[in-house]
């Protein structure tokens, strides 16, 4: 991949908006660790990330995360984002969060910690 953290962040969020699971997974190093949300279980490796992606996308009709503010410091970054989409019943929803990232030398995500409240999203989905 060999890209900068900023480019990987752009690809990561674009993949969520485009519903492209493989492009999303490709943003991560093979043994990456994700906690999404941060108090949830660790998701380790590409296969587990695929299952996680499918479980989230399966909850809704559409989903799109848009970065609002991005702060990069070396191989670390923090991104404030807003998520919008439609429930399976066609009802709009909105939720917000902050993701923190650590990247490897090739620009792939080694670690992701997502700070957001799933209860707020679930309440909107009914």
Q: Looking at residue 57, what is its pLDDT?
A: 87
Residue 72 burial (CB count, 10 A): 15
Q: Which fold has domain 5-125?
A: Nuclear Transport Factor 2; Chain: A, (3.10.450)
The domain limits of the chain are 5-125
Q: What are phi and psi of 21, to 5 degrees?
A: -55, -45
Residue-level length of the chain:
126
Cα 119 to Cα 70, 116, 122, 123: the distances in Å are 25, 9, 5, 6
The pLDDT tens digits of the residues spanning 69-112 come to: 999 999 999 999 999 999 999 999 999 999 999 999 999 999 99
Q: Looking at residue 106, what is its pLDDT?
A: 95
Angle at 39 between CA 35 and CA 41, to 5 degrees: 55
The pLDDT tens digits of the residues spanning 30-61 come to: 999 999 999 999 999 999 999 999 998 888 99
Q: End-to-end alpha-carbon separation of the chain, Å?
A: 39
Q: Report the predicted TM-score, pTM, of the whole model to 2 decimal places.
A: 0.93
């Amino acid at each position: 991949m060999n890209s900068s953290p900023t480019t990987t962040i752009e690809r990561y969020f674009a993949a969520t908006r485009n519903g492209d699971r493989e492009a999303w997974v490709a943003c991560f190093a093979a043994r990456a660790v994700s906690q999404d949300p941060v108090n949830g279980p660790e998701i380790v490796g590409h296969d587990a990330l695929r299952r996680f992606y499918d479980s989230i996308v399966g909850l809704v009709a559409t989903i799109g995360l848009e970065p609002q503010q991005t702060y990069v410091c070396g191989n670390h970054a923090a991104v404030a984002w807003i998520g919008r989409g439609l429930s399976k019943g066609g009802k709009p929803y909105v939720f917000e969060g902050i993701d923190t990232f650590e990247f490897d030398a090739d620009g792939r995500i080694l670690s992701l910690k997502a700070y957001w409240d799933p209860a707020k999203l679930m309440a909107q989905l009914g």
